[in-house]
Structure 1
């Protein structure tokens, strides 16, 4: 009996010390894992946030460049007939879109869908305005028809997409 009690006197304190060491090592390892996750997240954020901001900037520029006001001012003297001007405007929009296609990776699907819808609205606006004029009429006629349609709608076709883009950017940082 004396042997058992002596044995327990040694085992119980040793067990408590081992258990305490286990808890200490476990806590240290958890803290190290948390620090590693934090460092990884920081490195990811430092790398990705500037790229995402650049993508948002590029898509804002895309929407501004395809807005009818800017598009017509930029390409106003590039064609002589309505048909030529219509084709030139649509090609410019397609080129801008294709140039920025990869930016969709950095934004939400909802915002990307609105950007595509805005582009399609601008193209539809151009096609409808072109349908209101003779193909051989001066290109200035197409510009007038496009502006008339914008005035009727009281809003740029790219306005909603720009607002969504800005809201998403602000949501990231506020």
Structure 2
């Protein structure tokens, strides 16, 4: 009887060890296959998403160029000589451009989108500041004050465009 139990152990122990090793290898194989499948799916998604992301960066760059005060003032001429009307027209133009590009935020980083929104708000503030000045009494004077201010410093759009260029460049490295 003791020999029978010992013989049974000699048969069962190697079978249990072989079963445990087979289970471990099978588990590892399934795990590796899952990782490989996830990697291939991500790779395919990135291949499809990259053109959309680049297009979003292009559209945001175009938005920033269009709201750059020097470009905006050339493109949007005053309807009347009233400075408040011109201020409203410029700000409405900026807001319309921004709303047209709102969907691009899902393709760019949060930091990039925040910098873009900050550039928009800083441009609006620049326009409001120029309009509030006491020596500004007409729409043409608003244009002159804004353009003069831009001679001394960079526009908010320029800083945001620099960031976008760096971010797109970092996608390749």
Q: Please indicate the TM-score interval, normalised by the length of the shorter structure.
A: 0.7 to 0.9
Q: State the Cα deviation string for residues 99-149 of structure 1 (Å, max 9, x = none).
A: 112222233333222212211221122222223421xx3x43332221111
How do residues 146-161 of structure 1 correspond to structure 2 at under 5 angstroms?
A: 146-152=146-152, 154-161=153-160
Distance 1:6 1:121 in 2: 86
The aligned counterpart of 1:70 is: 71
Q: Which residue of 2 aligns with 1:9?
A: 10
Please give the TM-score of this superposition, normalised by the length of structure 1: 0.84
Match of 2:32 in 1: 31
- Map Cα deviations across residues 26-59 of structure 1 (whole Å, 9 max, x no partner): 2221221111211221233223322222221111
Q: Give the 5 Å matches for 1:72-87.
A: 72-76=73-77, 79-83=79-83, 84-87=85-88
Q: Which residue of 2 aligns with 1:143?
A: 143
How many Å apart are 1:162 and its aligned residue? 1.5
Count of aligned pairs between the two proteins: 169
Which blocks of at least 5 consecutive residues in structure 2 are unaligned?
none
Q: Which runs of 4+ in 1 moved over 4 A?
A: none
* Alignment gaps of 5+ in structure 1: none
| Partners of 1:66 and 1:119 within 8 A in 2 | yes
Cα deviation digits, residues 144-174 of structure 1 (max 9, x gap): 221111113x211212211222222223331
The CA deviation at 1:82 is 4.2
Task: Please give the alpha-carbon distance, in whole angstroms, between the structure 2 residues aligned to 1:25 and 1:89.
Answer: 66
TM-score, L = length of structure 2: 0.85
